[in-house]
Every structure is written in C-alpha cells, then in structure tokens.
Structure 1
Amino acid sequence: MILVTLDTRPILVSGATGYIGGRLVPRLLEAGYHVRCVARSPRKLESRGWIRHPNVEVVEADLNDIDAIMRAAVGCRAAYYLVHSMQAAGSKYREVDRRLASNFVEACVSGGVERMLYLGGLGETGDDLSEHLSSRREVEQILGASSVPLTVFRAAMIIGSGSASFEILRYLVERLPLMITPRWVVTRCQPIAVRNVLAYLIGALDAPETAGRTLDIGGPDVVTYLDLMNTMAKARGLPRRRVLAIPLLTPRLSSAWIHLVTPVSARMARPLAEGLRNEVVCRNDDAAGLIPQALLTVQEAIDAALLRTDEQDVETSWSAAGPIPGDPGWAGGEVFRDTWTVLVASSEAAAFKAICRVGGGHGYYALDWLWRVRGWMDRLVGGPGLRRGRRDPENVAFGEALDFWRVTGIEAPEHLALRAEMKVPGEALLEFHVEPADDEAADGESDRLVRVVQTASFIPRGLFGLIYWYAVLPLHGFVFRGMLRGIRKNAEKEVHPSGRPKAWRDPKVHSIRPEQRWRRLTPGTALGAALAPPRSSE
C-alpha cells in the first residue's frame, strides 16, 4: 500500500490585494493549495468571492513590520513576493523596495520557508537600465542572497484587463488618432498575457527544477510599441494610429502626457515611461520548456482583455493598489459639514444599491457635465480625475477606486464612505447613510420609507482651503439635490418596476432638504466625531 501525504502547509502570498496577487490566490485555491494572504488592509479582500474558501486565511501585516511578517511566514511551504512601491513619493520607491524585500527575506528564513518566487521585469542589465527596472534588479539580488531558493520570473508588458500598462495602451489608442511620441515607440518588447503569467507562477511550485533559476517569460510575439498600438486599434475597429516620433520628449513630459490622456497618474506613469526606452525581449525560452503551456499571441491577449473590459468583468485593477489613508496627521482645527436628506419609498437594500451605482460610466445621476468639468480640472493639476472609473458597474468594495474617490468605508446596506483623492486644499469625505423611516409613512399608507442622509465633510488646509469650501458650497444645493433625486428614483424603480407607489404622492417623499447647511467644529474636536454624520433631527 502506498501512502500519499498531501502537503497542506500554506503558500504565503504577499501583495494579495494587488493586480497579480489578487488573481493568483483564487487560482492557487483551485489547484488545491492552502493559501495565507498577507495584506496591509485586509478589508480590501472582503468582496473577493474566494475569501470564504476553507483553504484561505488572511493575515493583517505590513511588510514594514518585521515582527508581523515573521509571524505570517511561520510554517509556510513557499512564499510569493508580489510587492512594488512605484507609487511612493519621488524616487523613494527604490529605498522602500529594498527595505521591504529585506524584511521579507528575513521572515522567510526565520519561518522555515522552502521556496521564494518573485515576479520582476525584463530588460538587459547595464548602466542604461531605467530606475524602475534597476530597482527590480536590486530586489532580485536581495531575495536571491538568502539561503532560501528563489525563482525569478521576468516579464515585459502584461496584457490583461485592469492592468496599468494595458489601460495606458487602450486609452492612448482610443483617444488619439495622431500621436507625438518619444523614440521609444519603435523599441521592441515581448508582451505576455496575464493568464500565462499566472500559469508560470503556479506551475513553478511543482517544478523543483525552477528553484534557483531566473526565467524570462513572454508571449510568442516580439513587437514594437507602435505595433501594439495598431493591434489595439484593429481590435477596436479603428484605423491605424499615426505616430510622429521625436527625440525631445523626456520621461517627465511623457508621464505628464500619459496622465492627461489616460487614467494612470503621472507619478505612476513616470517609472513606466522611463522603462520604455529599454528593449524587453526574452533571452531564452527555458520557462516554456520547464512549464509548458499554450501562450497567447498579442492579438489574442488584447482580444481577451477587451472582452473582459467590455463585459465589465474585470477581476482586479491597478487602481485598487496602495494604502488606504487614515485620519490626516494635521487633524484638528475647522471641520465643515454639509448634510442633505431625502425620504425614499423603497427598502434599505434598494436604496443602498442605488447609492453604490454612482460614478464610473453610470455618472452621478445629475449634472454629469459639471462632474466632467471637475474631473478635467483635477487632471490638469495632477489629480486622477474621472478616468479611473470603477471596476464593476454595480458593486463597490473597500479600498477600490471610484473615479477620483476611494471607498474607505462600506457597511451594506447602511453606510458608504468615499474619501476624495482629487487635488483639493484639504481633506474631503462624502458619506451616505441609509436608515429606516417607517415613522414617516405617507398618510397612513403601508408603503415603506427609508431615509438617505448624504454628508460632505471637509477639513480645510490653510486660507486657500477655506476659500475653496465657501466657493463650492453654493453648488452643493444643485449637485446634492440632483444626486439624491436620482438615487431616490433609481431605488424606487428597483422596488416598484411596474408603477409608482402611493407614497410617491406624499410631498415629504419628494422633499430634498439640508439638515444642517454647514457646521463648523472648533479645534481639538476628535476627527472621528467630526466626520460622523449627524442622525436626523426630525
């Protein structure tokens, strides 16, 4: 009799809330592995369908906290390092990456991890390597210098719905029939489909011969970036893009242009733009021999990504990466609030569902042109604007981006909090609360009413912050009234698709009014209390 012992030791995945990590975890679970996710903000994983899988556990740990990551690594069979700090301020991401990688190595060594796996970037070594790719090489060296065998996969552009590189390509092609570009437009690259990247990452676990190896991975096509643009144009049914390549555009100017045209910020676009000058082509096909699979062509990868995008079935997105900001360090001083309320003849669930539809392609229920103008203004001063959109047209999850908002609180069907990431001279928060209002049933009718309370909170920074608040305050009456009117109609149609409820005839249901036009809190007030919306005084 042969006894087969299954290794149930967990696989550690750092960066589980990121683009690759968020797709890797469910595929590891499908393959039968036990997975331990390390997340700085575990709430960002609550909306993932796999979070309730019996073979997954989530550990709250920041890679800056060496003790926490050591505890997370104890007893793990293998560990994936899928963390990059490209969005750190300025060039500090290299310093941050070195520190995080060193902590990760120390944790793996002390925890008895047998294998480490890392996804880095393609590109020849040398003095001309971009700072971004040089940083990735440094991480490789730090990970590889330990006693734990390391498998490194080096990839060029990853083509998949929701990836930053793919979104840059798609927006440039869809919006610009004529482009003035740097000379990197004729640089050769070897893109790879995201599904192929995931297959390599998972396949290496059961391919011991990949331990201690650095493997270049890419698709079957070697193309220029101009070829990529024309392939995208063809997939979109657009004519070939006309490109004028000039030597004058620096990475700084290129990243600023990418920021204006695409959803990606200039801070994130700059390291990507710098890397475009380097040829990124596989030097060998060892990976394909060790972990054989069907590799998608560039055309097939783009078609698959566009299908997911058009069907609004994007599994993970680049825009959800990064920390969730807490209370600002300068909390205190003046906090202003503007609160509006409306009665809705629907259930709490329907009202909350209508609230969660705001933003993205759906718009804001009213005055969308004004929101678009605000988005363009934000892009011009370096903010995200409205181009980030949303990952899903109906649902939002903690930590996700919603245009120039970030979801920082969600308790269905009662509460949604959005923190502004637009460029404003202060901190802005937009909150929605849904609560029963059966005590205000219309003229004794049985139609159920709920109350939707919308609160805008603002902590100004300096004199300009005060000027900004008083400048936008008159617009709230138009914007909030229209938004709440749209939420009410959307929620009531959800519950009463065949006709209007009797409560619609009650004037109180139609009333949209401010509870407190504004409120000023004095210095020393706790920020949490300041930002908590008031309960209705009615």
Structure 2
Amino acid sequence: MITAPASGAQAWPVLVTGATGYVGGRLVPLLLDRGHAVRAVGRSVAKLRCRPWSDHPNAQFAEADLRDREALAQAMRGCRTAFYLVHSMNPRAGADYAAVDRELAYTFVEASRDAGLERIIYLAGLGEADDPNLSRHLRSRAEVGRILRLSPAAVTTLRAAVILGAGSASFEILRHLAERLPVMLTPRWVRTKSQPIAISNVLEYLAGCLEHPETAGRSFDICGPDTLSYEDQFRIYSEEARLKRRVIIPVPVLSPRLSSYWLGLVTPVPISLARPLILGLKTKAVCREHSIRDIIPQHLLSCREAIRLALRKVEQQSVDTCWHDAGQTVTPEWVACGDPAYAGGAVLQDGFRATIQAKPEEIWPAVARLGGQAGWYFGDNLWRLRGLADKLVGGPGLRRGRRHPTDIRLGDSLDFWRVVRVDPPTLLLLHAEMKAPGEALLQIRLEKKSPDRTELSMVPRFLPRGLAGLLYWWAVYPFHSWVFAGMLRGLAKATGRPIVDGPDKYKPGTADVCRLPGVH
C-alpha cells in the first residue's frame, strides 16, 4: 500500500527503509527540508504517520515487510534511489540476527531488480571483512554490503564507527555507565582506538551522497576528527556532564559475555543488543581513507562537541529518535482478529475499573505520562523488580524509559512495553516486550459515562505458551487486584479528581480492538 503523493511533489521520490529507526527517523525530515520527495517504508503506515514530519507535502508512505519481495518492489516503483538503513540486531531477532539480515538483503536485491532501482545508499559498520578478529556483528554488516552489490543498482556504502547522538545505543551506554559508576572495572577493549562520529555528520554524508552522483558505486569511511580510546570518551563525557573524574581499571578477566550482562544491568540497552556491540568494540575502528571529505565537505564535530550537543538534547527533552524506536507495532493476531480459543490457545484476561469524576480529556494526560520517570502510579518497586528480572534474562527492563515524558505516539516504548494503539483520550494499548512464556497486552480505556464522569478500566491479557505460560499467569494473578486497583487510584490522584465508584474487578468481554464498528 502506497499513499498518494502530495500535489507538487517531485516525480522521483527517494525511498527510505528503516524510516522509524534511529538514523532513518532523522534522515527523512532532513531530506524533506532539502526539497526531496521521500517515500518512507515501514511495516506500519500508522506508525509512520505519527512522526512529526508525516504531514509534510512531499512525504509519502509505503507499507511493506522487507521479507516480502512483491510488496517491497511495489514500494520501490517510481523511485530511483533507496536508502538501506535496516538491521536486525535487536532483542527479538536473537542469535540469528545475521541470518535475518542476510535474508532481508537478498530480498532487497531481488526487489530492486524488479523495480528498476538505479542507486542504493547503505550505512554499514567500520571494519575490514578480511580481519580475522572482526566481530560477528561487523562481519554481518560487511556481508550485507556484499549482497547489496549483487543488485544492478549502483551501491554507495558509508562505513561508520561509533555514532554519537542523543538516543543512540552507543551514547546511552556511555551516558549510563559514566553517570552510575564512579569506579569501573572494564575489559581491555576500553583502550581500543576509534573515531566516533556525530549523528548530524552521518546524516549530512547520507544526504550528500544522494546529491553527489559521483559517489555512486563507491565505498567510503566516515569518521569524526578525533582518534580516541573508549576510556578517553568516558573521560570527556564526565567532564561535559560535570561529573567527578571516573576511575577506570581495565582487567583481563571480563569476557564479552560477562561484560554484556553487566551493561544489561546498568544501562537501558538489553543484553542481546549489548553483546554484539561489545564484541564490535574490540576491533580498532579508524578510517583508512578520507576521500568523502573532498566530495561532501562539512564541519566535523569533535567527540566533545557531539557529547555536549547530545547532553543538551537530553536536558531539553528534545531527543528526535531513540535506539529503541524501531519496534513492532502490529497488534497481535490473537487480539486483532478475534480468533476462537481453539485456534491458538485460551487468552487469559482480567479486568479492573473505577469511575472518576472527570472528563476523559482531564484524565488522559496522566495516562499519557505512564512509564519512564513518572512510573506506574502504584507498586513501582514491584515494577522495578519485574524489570530487574527481565534484565537478567536479556530483556529491555525498565531502564529503557520513554522517548518523551508527556508526548505519546504509536510505536513508542514505555519501559518494557510498546505502544501498539493510541487513541487520545479514550484508548491506550500496550504490548509487552519483556521476556515471558507468552504474549501480554495491557489495555487502558476511558469511557465517558456522563458529562462529568468517566469509567477508567485496565484489562491485562495474556496468551500463554505451554505449561510454563499457564504457571506464569497464575503466579502473578494474585497480585492483579492489588496492583491494578492501586494504579487506578494513582491515576485518579494524579488527575486531582475523586473516584466515585470502585475500583472493582469485572469480567471483560471481547477485546475492544476486535469489535467492528456498530457491532457490540
């Protein structure tokens, strides 16, 4: 499905994959500001339409799964150039992320041939493919580049080291380690040299390659001006954040596995993502050539300038995109399609409600602040305990927080939940990304009962996987009445309006997302 181009849009839109991710989510508005028509591709057009740039007259949207050759080719038609900004190194891809990336790249090549694409611009990692010490993550990025070059389209590859910017995984690891640990026992890779580059410089190079046809078919190293160890970067961050000098003690006994568990506990980055990142840090990441600087000249921010700018963005709560933005936003089929219990197992659910003397519009701001610094309005220690348990088994935990303290949109992460539907001021549907033996949803609904009274309800739903899933549900079930009733009271208190009825338990009916208009 492709949305119609706006009147006056350019005839040859630029295709951007990964448009909801960290880099793609920033590249799209930059290209639009430069006068390009952009066709953003994603699995959910609804999620794309929640982006601040979605109402730009030259923005187009195409819904396609990158595994679907036909849908991808359809999305490419009418485009001459495509940005390939996707990778599968996330908690849900697990250990097979390299195989997934390989499959996506081959499908992209086939679709580009079908659609007659002329150029592909690919952002890769810095590292030599023939280096025997190259990490699996960086080796996978190099392999994707080789596969893309099988396309008849001319491929431009930009190879970057550590990308520094507010919300990037590398910056968040650096920030949380420096702020939480005055003394750090680190692996020896802390003294490995690299050339970190600011996200603003990466975006300028990406956009510049589109505007400079002489970059077609070539590979470039892109780096910042400083060659630093990771120990140096910790020191610079501490100085810019006005922290006391951090003591860093490299030791030989910390394996990548142990280091990833430690990072998973201390930072918001889950273990499954931290491990390949750490393995990549063992490899020296320094530019071997600088030819792109002559083609696309720009002021390259120093590491200190990049960190200072990122800290300012964090302090101003103006982080454009985050490393965890690219998550699944499709409502699970067992909720969306209303399948009977025998189709996929019984869906377990519970319901709690309270009537508050307020309008939905008056209660919604408190609902929209859930998670992050605001917490969950009740039992925060229990939520933290669940988050810690999730961290220990490789999940995101609670430290992931949220993109913005008050603004909420489709696809946002709220601690270990993902927003899969948001209809202010009546509905918030959250899909759990925590590690559990099944799939979980939390529905929060506001229903107007009279001009000044609103029923606020919470319905947790769970589709268990096997006996472990059933045991998990019944183990946490006794806590539901305490936790969800407490959350309802907490939301009413945050609103500043009294509860006139409840909280009480009730038996919820069919999931609201399953109902057809006019059918009850």
Both structures adopt the same fold (TM-score exceeding 0.5): yes
Aligned partners of 1:331, 1:389: CA distance in 2, in Å? 35
Larger radius of gyration: 1
Deviations 1:205-258 (A, max 9, x none): 121221122111111111000011111111221122222222232222222221
In 1, Cα distance between the equivalents of 2:463 and 2:94? 26
2:477 aligns to what? 473
CA distance in 2, matches of 1:228, 1:488: 45
The counterpart of 1:489, out of the listed 493, 497, 505, is 493
Residue 156 of structure 1: which of 157, 161, 173 is its match?
161
Deviation of 1:429 (Å): 1.4
Selected match of 1:235 from 236, 240, 244:
240
Q: Distance in 2 between matches of 1:473 and 1:233?
A: 44
Contact 1:154 1:214 in 2 (8 A): yes
Aligned match for 1:457, one of 445, 457, 461: 461
Choose which of 156, 179, 182 in structure 1 pairs with 2:184. Answer: 179
Question: 437, 450, 454: which one pairs with 1:425?
Answer: 437
CA distance in 2, matches of 1:81, 1:490: 44
Identify the match of residue 50 of structure 1 among 42, 45, 53.
53
Alpha-carbon distance between aligned partners in 1 of 2:215 and 2:93, rounded to the nearest angstrom: 35
Q: Does 1:113 find its partner at 2:104?
A: no
Deviation (angstroms), 1:399 = 1.9
What's the secondary structure of 1:511's corresponding residue?
strand
Question: Do the aligned residues in 2 keep the contact of 1:120 with 1:155 (CA within 8 Å)?
Answer: yes
* Residue 412 (str. 1) matches residue 443 (str. 2): no
Q: Which residue of 1 aligns with 2:204?
A: 199
The number of residue pairs the alignment matches comes to 499
Unmatched tracts of structure 2, length 5 or more = 1-7, 516-520
Measure, in 2, the Cα distance between the counterparts of 1:366 and 1:163. 30
Deviation (angstroms), 1:367: 2.5
Instruction: Tell me the amino acid that sits aligned with residue 130 of structure 1.
Output: S
Matches within 5 A, 1:9-48: 9-48=12-51
Shift of 1:491: 3.0
Amino acid at match of 2:252: P
| Identity fraction in percent | 49
How far residue 331 of structure 1 moved from its aligned partner, in angstroms, is 6.1
1:355 is aligned to 2:372: no
What CA deviation, in whole Å up to 9, does each residue of 1:176-206 have, x standing for no partner?
A: 1122221110000000110111011111112
With 304-313 and 347-356 compared, the bigger mean Cα shift is at 347-356
From the superposition, tell whether residues 336 and 532 of structure 1 become closer, same or farther in structure 2 (CA, over 3 Å).
farther
- Aligned CA RMSD, in angstroms, stands at 2.3
Structure 1 pair 370–98 and aligned structure 2 pair: CA distance change class (3 A): closer
Give the letter aligned to residue 511 of structure 1. G
TM-score (ref. length: structure 2):
0.91
Relative to 1, partners in 2 of residues 1:142 and 1:261: Cα closer, same or farther, differing over 3 Å?
same
Give the C-alpha shift of residue 114 in structure 1.
2.3
Gaps of 5+ in 1: 439-446, 494-503, 522-527, 534-538
**Partner SS for 1:387:** coil
Indicate the residue corresponding to 1:257 in structure 2: 262
| CA distance, structure 1, for counterparts of residue 379 and residue 162 of structure 2 | 38
Amino acid in the other structure paired with 1:39: G
Following the alignment from structure 1 to structure 2, what is the Cα–Cα distance between the partners of residues 433 and 78?
43
Answer yes or no: is 1:219 the counterpart of 2:210.
no
After the TM superposition, which of the residue ranges 340-349 and 14-23 deviates more from structure 2? 340-349
Listed as ranges, the matches of 1:272-291 within 5 Å are 272-291=277-296
2:452 corresponds to: 448
CA distance in structure 2 between the aligned counterparts of 1:78 and 1:285, rounded to whole angstroms: 24
Stretch deviating more after TM superposition (35-44 or 81-90): 81-90
Contact 2:271 2:391 in 1 (8 A): no
What is the DSSP-based 3-state SS (H/G/I as helix, E as strand, rest coil) of the residue aligned with 2:262? Answer: helix
On the 8 A contact 1:420/1:427 being kept in 2, the answer is: yes
Counterpart amino acid of residue 236 in structure 1: A
Alignment of 1:134-149 (within 5 A): 134-149=139-154
The answer to whether the 8 Å contact 2:442/2:459 transfers is: yes
Q: Which of 291, 298, 323 is the aligned partner of 1:293? A: 298
After TM superposition, list the pairs within 5 Å mapping 1:309-324 onto structure 2.
309-324=314-329
Structure 1 residues 480 and 148, CA gap change in structure 2 (3 angstroms): same
- The alignment partner of 2:345 has SS state of coil
